[in-house]
Structure 1
Amino acid sequence: MNRLALLWLIVVLLFSGCSYHSDLKNLQLIYATSLDTNEKNEIVTTVTIQSPGGKERTVPIHEVLTATGPTLQESLYKKIGLQIAGPIGTSKNQVMLICDKLAKSDILNLLDATFRNSNDPMLAKVAIVHGEAADLIRLNRIGSATSGEYLRKIIKSAEHETVIPYVTVHSIYPLLHDRGKDGVIPILRRENGTNGETDKDKAVIEGVGLLSKRKYTGYLLTPEQSTLFLLMNGKKAEVCVLTRKVEEAKGKNDVSQHVSLNIVKSSRSKKVSVSSSGQVQVQLQLRLKGIIIEHAKNNRIDEQLIEQLNKRFSDLLTQEAQGICKLLQKAHSDALGIGRDMIAFHPKEWKELDWEKAYPEVDFKVSVSMDIISHGIIN
């Protein structure tokens, strides 16, 4: 009896293994997904699929498919699933792109199917695209790389350079539920090439889009603004370079007027208080330490010049930081998390506030100080 049971177990394992191997062989892997909308307000889903191919495959087989439906579940899993020979696999999805028009609706509802599916990769990058998101999916790929791999590398490079924040399906989900802080999402656009084969179409980082609650507001921070915004949020990445024009000259704009600093250390302090009249006040101080990596005008740098550059950068960045706060208020985007501080430290006042009306009236007092600690091996 024991021998018969053991034999039966071996047979079951062998057959299930063959079935599993067959499923993997026919699996159609999605490497990038884009969501657009049409005149009927349907979701237009476009994906790039890589088929595993046969034993002698040298170059992966890529295919771009599109389908429409009232929901992501309908357009992706049902309609696109009917266009391919084999089951859909979403575990390799690299990026989730959303067109700006669709992002102005409820992003949480839009991605509900993705959040609920345990097979979908939670570390897929999320980005908004100005124009048709599918245009980036259809970009000509370099070598055997899929458009998903290409776009993911561009996004990761911008994260590394402190240009955009780290945003994935997993990280954006809790922010869409957060009462005290709004999210920001990287913005991409397609840039057309000008010289055929030598200058192909490419994806370009435009900055970060500001969210209000669960919707894209239409306002964005440029790459220069978003780098400073990330520093104000205490999120410096491995590399952070600030280049600013430190001299003004009429009718002249050359490299000698600019200085580039590598920010090696940043610290910020934020204090939220409520005045006797009930106005929310924010004091935000950002302290930066930098190294001069390019200053074409002066090969010789002395202490007096360092002091001048420190003051110039401090003034410029303080002015820019104040402008960022005003833009956040204009967009009704609490991306600095002032509401979180109110909930934590002023819960009584928070309950009495209408945050929709109170946030645009918040009094921001922002200051940035620069301390140049090195100017390279020159001198």
Structure 2
Amino acid sequence: MNNRSAFIWAAILAIILAGCWDQRLLKEHSLVLAIGYDRTNDEKILKTVTFPKSNRGGGQQSLPLNDSKVLSQTGDTVKYAENHMDQIIPEKFDNSKAKVIFLGKQLASHGIFPTLDSIYRDLRGPLNATLAVFDGKAKDALSAKTGESMLVSDVYSELLDSAEDAGITKNENVQSACPIILSEGKDLVLPYVSLKQDKLPNVKGLALFNGDRFTGTLNIKETSMFLILSDQKPKGTTLNLKISSDKKKHEKNFVNIAVRGNKRNIKVNVKNGQIHAKVNVKLEVEIDEYAIDHLNEEKEVKDLSRRIENKLNKIAKKTLAKMQEANNDSLGLGEKVQAYHHSTWKKNDWKKVYPEIPIEAAFHVKIIRHGIIN
């Protein structure tokens, strides 16, 4: 081989074997899969993380798949708490693969943006991690019971995904939450989670925000109503409604419906400087359960549709009232005022005006299927 050929091969091998300048070896990092942030009584940040236990001791026996560590550290800021963590374990923490981030109730009530700020400024921040508010301390959320082969991060990730599919919550990740928090005409909602007495995770509904502050909650039925009013079109939404109270048999006072189609229209009108909003919803529903029967008769179907409409209007009224009480405009009415009535928008402080404006909801229900048994 002549000198020129040797030089060419040496150059090619140098390129192939050079590697990446910013490589991060897995053996040198602890992959954080779930994070919790709390506010302490002395106004510091308590950060809690869970990460799989390593099996570098060289033993023959492998660790259980769900075997993980939980570590907490306090600091004046998020980064300060992270620095404390790096000082007490040999590996460096890698937050980029986190699946879920919990915000403790106390911290969320004081504002979540300062906590999320460190993630937005980090090149490898976990932007895809699902955000949720925990009813209590986020640290406790990471002590939930899990199955024999599941990490706590997987339990929460799958729970929140299935809850969203069932129409009982609305998920946002770190990245999608940012523009909503910074918006002047729309507010954020996040899943609201707790632990049962047996330490099993439980989705309670939605946490309502005003800006970046947690200000109220919606229960499961109100959350399903919010998803309908906000035109989210969840595929698995079902509602159990009490449509009467005069039947001798208790179960005959109820109907269970499954939403199969919905069209929503919001109208925001301004007259003499006064803002009024109306949400019109057309629902196509299937009757999943109705003990009274006789749905082969058109008169009975129309009567049932009317009863369902009345009940949905009442739930919508209560849901909207709770949202206004929390000063949470997650329907984006402010965006419509800003876009179509800009002079009115400029004259008013929306955060002061929104809780007082009349918001009306009107439902029109069409029963498209009532099962193979009438």
Residue 102 of structure 2 is matched in structure 1 by: 97
Which residue number corresponds to residue 234 of structure 2? 237
Relative distance call for 1:339 and 1:18 in structure 2 (3 A) is closer
Whole-Å separation in 2 of the counterparts to 1:267 and 1:374 = 18
Which one of 209, 212, 215 corresponds to residue 211 of structure 1? Answer: 209
Which residue in the other structure is 1:269 paired with? 265
SS at match of 1:234: coil
TM superposition score normalised by structure 1:
0.90
Report how far residue 305 of structure 1 moved. 1.9
Residue correspondence of structure 1 range 61-210 to structure 2 within 5 A: 61-76=67-82, 78-193=83-198, 201-210=199-208
Q: Distance in 1 between matches of 2:20 and 2:211?
A: 47
Q: Secondary structure at the match of 2:33?
A: strand
Alignment check: 8 A CA contact 1:279 1:361 kept: no
Partners of 2:131 and 2:171 within 8 A in 1: no
Output the CA distance in 2 between the equivalents of 1:253 and 1:130.
37
User: How many angstroms apart in 2 are the aligned matches of 1:53 and 1:8?
Assistant: 39
Aligned residue for 2:280, secondary structure, equals: strand
Shift of 1:141: 2.0
Q: Deviations over 1:81-140 (max 9, x none)?
A: 223222222222110001111001221111101112221222211000111111110123
Where in structure 1 are there 5+ consecutive unaligned residues?
194-200
Partner residue, 2:300: 305
Q: What's the offset of the Cα at 1:36? A: 1.1
Q: What is the percentage of aligned positions where both structures have the same residue?
A: 25
Q: Deviations over 1:206-249 (max 9, x none)?
A: 111111111111x1111100101111000021211111012204
Please give the secondary structure, in 2, of the residue aligned with 1:140. coil
Residues in 2 aligned to 1:118 and 1:7: alpha-carbon distance in whole angstroms = 35
Structure 1 residue aligned with 2:244: 247
**1:294 paired residue number:** 289
> Matches of 1:275 and 1:237 in 2, distance apart?
34
Distance in 2 (alpha carbons) for counterparts of 1:202 and 1:280 = 45
Q: Report the equivalent of 1:10.
A: 13
Are the aligned partners of 1:67 and 1:75 in contact in 2 as well (CA < 8 Å)? yes
CA distance in 1 between partners of 2:235 and 2:86 (Å): 41
Match of 1:260 among 256, 262, 287: 256
Any stretches of 5+ residues in structure 2 without a counterpart? none
> Superposed, which structure 2 residues align to 1:360-375 within 5 Å?
360-375=355-370
Q: What code does the residue aligned with 2:326 have?
A: A
Residue identity opposite 1:288 in structure 2: L
- Provide the rounded CA distance (Å) in 2 between the counterparts of 1:5 and 1:116: 43
> In the alignment, which residue of structure 2 is the partner of 1:346?
341
Amino acid at match of 1:66: S
Amino acid at match of 1:363: P
- Answer yes or no: is the 8 Å Cα contact 2:262–2:282 preserved in 1: yes
For 1:17 and 1:334, the matched residues in 2 are separated by: 47
Q: 1:322 offset after TM fit, Å?
A: 1.6
Over the aligned positions, Cα root-mean-square deviation in angstroms equals 2.3
Decide whether the 8 Å contact of 2:55 with 2:63 is kept in 1: no
Deviation at 1:353, TM superposition (A): 1.1
Match of 1:196 in 2: none
Does the C-alpha gap of structure 1 residues 51 and 166 become closer, same or farther in structure 2, counting only changes over 3 Å? same
Superposed CA offset, 1:152-185 (max 9, x none): 1111111001111121111111101100111111
Supply the AA of the counterpart residue of 2:279. Answer: L
CA contact (8 A) 1:27 1:52 kept: no
**C-alpha displacement at 1:144, in angstroms?**
2.6
The equivalent of 1:223 in structure 2 is 220
Decide whether the 8 Å contact of 1:209 with 1:221 is kept in 2: yes
Q: What is the SS of the residue equivalent to 1:360?
A: helix
Letter in 2 for 1:274: V
Q: Please state whether the residue corresponding to 1:111 is helix, strand or coil.
A: helix
Give me the TM-score of the superposition, normalised by structure 2. 0.91
| Paired position in structure 2 for 1:197 | none
- Please give the alpha-carbon distance, in whole angstroms, between the structure 2 residues aligned to 1:156 and 1:322: 28
Q: How many residues align?
A: 367
Shift, 1:331, TM fit: 1.5
**Cα distance in 1, alignment partners of residues 194 and 19 from structure 2:** 46
**Does the Cα contact within 8 Å between 2:30 and 2:91 map onto a contact in 1?**
yes
Q: Secondary structure at the match of 1:176?
A: helix
Residues 225 and 124 from structure 1, CA distance in 2 versus in 1: closer, same or farther, beyond 3 angstroms?
same
Aligned-pair distance for 1:14?
A: 4.1
For the 8 Å contact 2:295–2:301, the answer to whether it is kept is no
Question: Structure 2 CA distance, aligned partners of 1:333 and 1:146?
Answer: 34
What is the deviation of 1:341? 0.2
Residues 19/143 of structure 1: CA separation in 2 closer, same or farther (3 Å cut)? farther
